[in-house]
Amino acid sequence: MAADRSALPIPGPERPFTFPDIRRRTLGNGLRVWTVEHRRVPLVSVIVLVPAGGSADPPDRPGLAAISADMLDEGCGDLSALDVHDALGRIGAHLDTDVGYDSTLIGLTVLARFLDRGLALLADIVTRPRLEQREFDRVRDLRVNRLLQLRDLPPAVADRVFAQLLYQNHPYGHLPIGTERALRAVTLRDVMTFHRRVFAPGHATLIAVGDATHDELTAAAERAFRAWTAAKETEPLPDPDAFPAAAPPVSRRVLVHRADAAQSELRIGHVALSRRTPDYHALLVLNMILGGQFVSRVNMNLREQKGYTYGARTAFDFRRAPGPFVLQASVQSNATAEAAEEAIAEIAAIRGERPVQPHELALGRAALTRGYPRSFETAEQVARSAAQLALYGLPDDYFTTFVPTVLKLTPEDITRAAAQHLDPERLVTVIVGDRERVPGEVMLVMDSP
Amino acid sequence: MDIPFTAHTLANGLDVLVHEDHAVPIVAVNVWYHVGSKNEVPGRTGFAHLFEHLMFEGSQHYDRGYFHPLQEAGAALNGSTNADRTNYWEVVPSGALELALWMESDRMGYLLPALTDAKFENQRDVVLNERRQNYENRPYGLAGMAIVSALYPPDHPYHWLTIGEPDDLRAARLDDVRAFFKTYYGPANASLALAGDIDAAQGIALAEQYFAEIDGAPAPPPVNVPALSSNGEETRLLLEDRVELPRLYLAWHSPALFAEEDAELDLLAELLGSGKTSRLYRALVYEQRVATEIAAAQNSRELGSFFQIVATAAPGRTLVEVERAIADEMRQIYESGPTAAEMERCLAQAEAHFVYRLQTVGGFGGKSDQLNAYNVFLGEPGYFRRDLARYREATAERLQRAARQFLAGGRRVAVSVVPRGRIALALPDSSPAVVA
């Protein structure tokens, strides 16, 4: 039978997919242990989540959460910094530390047959870091060096200036990696205090996903973590729900000068919404249509029609407190002004001038719903998804209700969400590029740091 | 541990491989064409990659872009080009498998009728912007070009990077696209792997249905590979860049992908540069603090690989100090070989990496991509186990021997990247590299 090329095949019905069943337990010390059986490949992924990241940095110590997380595996329990990594290497384990604005994730992926050994090491790392001066001095130098290098990386410069402009002194006004000045001032005592305050069993959730039963995973977690106790009399964790609103930006158009830059790095956006917004699903669909995938309006315009860039995209960065909406692209220098104008025009138009069309809605919804099972293929993906539930306090049935909730949305819902939550008047534009090659009015020019 | 598969070759020469994995209702479609920048000629570099972009711009029977119907069906998709091959993949919900096969087969069979000057000009602009973004405007972004142009003579197919030279990209014409497609994109020069929630017999029947009608083409011309001079003086180059810290790149010729001692050098790279207990990290970053970051890699490629060590100097330290510290560690490897503990660690890590590779059916590095890699480079899609055996059989003595032969005894290229205006920070006797 030859192919019929007169029309595209119509996709058949979606096959049922069972979302991971999460079993939840709480150990005697208050540690929440969530387990998922995921028995495809003989390995286990474990995540320890604590709900404190860059936004928990004291105002004069941006970067403290990140360097504290970095110190966890620099010697712990009976093991020196090198011993820890030797032990991880001997079982082929993969350790991953991820410091976001509102959370720190310590992840470990290990062959299932080494689960106990891996969890014992993870418990040492999370609960018994040695926090020694000699290692701290070295780690701090390495982080300062990294920040030095980031001065020359246009996306990193753009991200930093964009966060500063949008949030200023707000806890989201600096990147989790912090600043050179703050890192030079931070002390080992700061790290010790931060660790005692944040890494307590009552704050943490351990998520274990992999090739073992719920009982086996829970028992292994309990063996490794039951001795963990909270330090007494620590300051409570900051509550993002209580963060004040960010003050209006002091400037709406900023250029960071980079002489002879081959391209201009663009960030355009404003403070938007928190993860708990009731419009969460509508905004995900809106983003898919506006700039969240290849065929979105922004990418088709700036890349596929104009050829100004290798790619342009938008995102709502949902956090515990309102995070930013941002459009980002790296565009050829002589098209910077046109690219920024086009981008802003796309953001404005989707609010009503060019409302969401039914075929766009179908495309935006389908990308989220039909592609959804793909996000649950590996143990680590499942663990990270479960961590989102823990961090944002989402309901137990969140995964199973996701697709039906998205499918209920109408074009009008999306256009309304755009009109309500995107505001062209408030958009801030950051350009990292050569000021000689970027025409147009720029209110503030900064030198590259 | 394995990737079981069913294989079938169509009459037109297209290899079809199907691997069943029903855990998630998705199927990966993965197509490799055995063509890359090694098939380009001087004056037309960057062409294979520019061509890859055009494969996403529509074909005769669906000429409204490649992404739209697939993303509407819930697919993830992408493609990539390197020196040796070009790959394309979709991961679709099981019910959309036929759509993905229709789209892949239409661009394999019917790309040229839909090709226009406007698409070509647009994608050339996109690629020039890709080059600016990922090479020209990125710290240390031009070092890779300096290394390969010094390692390989000008007429060697690895003398240039896949992204190509801007002047060559601007010189490319639509006729070049047509000729390239006819020469390299025939079914006999391709391999199709399907992996996931699919029945093997049904997968092969569907491949017949969509791909059998595509005409075969003569085998592409062989790649001319000039001999390399493995002996001779070290080449020292320098690049000035907008960076804060100087960085040293060292590179040596090494055995080709899957050749004898390729796995040994891959393991050597692991124990030299991966993780805090690795030799070079421990000596240069942890103990002496002469460097702030370190990496080592065996860059395995079809016609011959290169082994590379990269180190960024710590503030106030020079590349001469960095080079000396690396040389001290390498001398110990040449003289005494790896320790038993190092071997245990790097073999455990290699073994675990093979397990980690079994987690995804599609995308870059997924099981479908691995089947095609083994098939295209070796003609043995079932090579997974033997690939793992290459690592299991490695010993400290074999690593030491490979290090002596290819690193101690081979010609070395050293590229110093220094902050603009600070040429004195480069290794002595370095001459300026010429890169676009």
Q: In what order do the strands lie in the sheet with A43-50?
A: A23-26, A32-37, A205-210, A43-50, A104-111, A94-99
Tokens of A356: 């969401």
Tokens of B297: 């890699």
Alpha-carbon distances, residue B16 vs A66, B123, B210 (angstroms)? 48, 30, 12
Cα–Cα nearest to A288, from A303, A302, A300: A300
Cα–Cα nearest to A131, from A56, A88, A67, A197: A67
Is the Cβ pair B356, A94 closer than 8 Å?
A: yes
Q: Which residue has the tokens 């290098």?
A: A149
Angstrom distance (rounded) from CA B424 to CA B418: 9
B105 Cβ under 8 Å from any chain A Cβ: yes
What confidence score (pLDDT) does residue A17 get?
85
Tokens of B65: 């872009």
- DSSP result, A167-196: HTTSTTSS-TT--HHHHHH--HHHHHHHHH
Cα dihedral A142, A143, A147, A153 sign: positive
What confidence score (pLDDT) does residue A201 get?
96
Angstrom distance (rounded) from CA B377 to CA B387: 12
Using CB atoms and an 8 Å cut-off, which of residues 189-208 of chain A contact chain B? none
What confidence score (pLDDT) does residue A418 get?
98
Smallest Cβ–Cβ distance between A366 and the set B74, B106, B359 belongs to B74
8 A C-beta contact, residue B108 and residue B118: no
What tens digit of pLDDT does each residue of B315-360 get?
999 999 999 999 999 999 999 999 999 999 999 999 999 999 999 9
What confidence score (pLDDT) does residue A33 get?
98
Phi and psi at A42, nearest 5°, equal: -75, 65
Partnered with residue A36 across adjacent β-strands are A209
What tens digit of pLDDT does each residue of B58-93 get?
999 999 999 999 999 999 999 999 999 999 999 999
Is the Cβ pair B244, A40 closer than 8 Å?
A: no
Q: How far is A243 from chain B (nearest CA, A)?
A: 36
Q: What is the mean pLDDT of residues A101-129?
A: 98
Buried b (16+ CB within 10 A) or exposed e, A368-406: bbbbbbbebbbbbbbbbbbbebbbbebeeebbeebbeeb
A87 Cβ under 8 Å from any chain B Cβ: no
Kind and range of the H or E element at B297? strand B291-299
What confidence score (pLDDT) does residue A289 get?
97
C-alpha angle B256-B257-B262 in degrees, rounded to nearest 5: 80
| Contacts of A394 by beta carbon, 8 Å cutoff, 6+ apart | A388
More confident residue, B314 or A443: B314
Mark the ranges of chain B whose per-residue pLDDT is less than 50: none
The DSSP code for B20 is E
Q: How many CA atoms lie within 13 A of A97 on its CB side?
A: 17
Buried b (16+ CB within 10 A) or exposed e, B64-79: ebbbbbbbbbbbbbeb
Partnered with residue B431 across adjacent β-strands are B237
8 A C-beta contact, residue A433 and residue A265: yes
- % of chain A residues with pLDDT over 70: 98
Q: Are strands A253-257 and A428-433 parallel, antiparallel or unpaired?
A: parallel
- % of chain A residues with pLDDT over 90: 91
What confidence score (pLDDT) does residue A231 get?
83
Q: Which residue has the tokens 């590379």?
A: B308
Would the pLDDT of A234 be above 80?
no
Using an 8 Å CB-CB cutoff, list chain A residues near B125. 307-308, 332
Kind and range of the H or E element at B294? strand B291-299
More confident residue, A221 or A448: A221
Is the Cβ pair A310, B73 closer than 8 Å?
A: no
Q: How many CA atoms lie within 13 A of A85 on its CB side?
A: 19
Angstrom distance (rounded) from CA A432 to CA B384: 46
Is the Cβ pair B61, A5 closer than 8 Å?
A: yes
Angstrom distance (rounded) from CA A278 to CA B213: 51
**Chains A & B: contacts with CB separation below 8 Å:** 216
Q: Which residue of B has its CA nearest to A8?
A: B99
Angstrom distance (rounded) from CA A116 to CA B151: 47
Is the Cβ pair A111, B355 closer than 8 Å?
A: yes
Would the pLDDT of A422 be above 60?
yes
What confidence score (pLDDT) does residue A181 get?
94
B64 Cβ under 8 Å from any chain A Cβ: no
Q: Cα(first)–Cα(last) distance of chain B, in Å?
A: 46
Using CB atoms and an 8 Å cut-off, which of residues 363-422 of chain B contact chain A? none
Q: Which residue has the tokens 């996403």?
A: B56
What confidence score (pLDDT) does residue B410 get?
86
Cα–Cα nearest to A72, from A90, A50, A89: A50
Partnered with residue B80 across adjacent β-strands are B87
Using an 8 Å CB-CB cutoff, list chain A residues near B127. 310
Q: Locate all alpha helices (DSSP H) within B185-278, ordered by sequence.
A: 200-211, 262-273
Phi and psi at A242, nearest 5°, equal: -100, 5
Angstrom distance (rounded) from CA B378 to CA A387: 42
Q: What is the pTM assigned to this prediction?
A: 0.96
Is the Cβ pair B244, A5 closer than 8 Å?
A: no
- Give the number of other CB atoms < 10 A from CB of residue A279: 18
What confidence score (pLDDT) does residue A443 get?
62
Alpha-carbon distances, residue B407 vs B114, B147, B151, B333, B365 (angstroms)? 49, 16, 14, 10, 28
Q: Which residue of A has its CA nearest to B271?
A: A89
Q: Which residue has the tokens 């991966």?
A: B274
pLDDT band at A19 (very low <50, low <70, confident <90, very high): confident
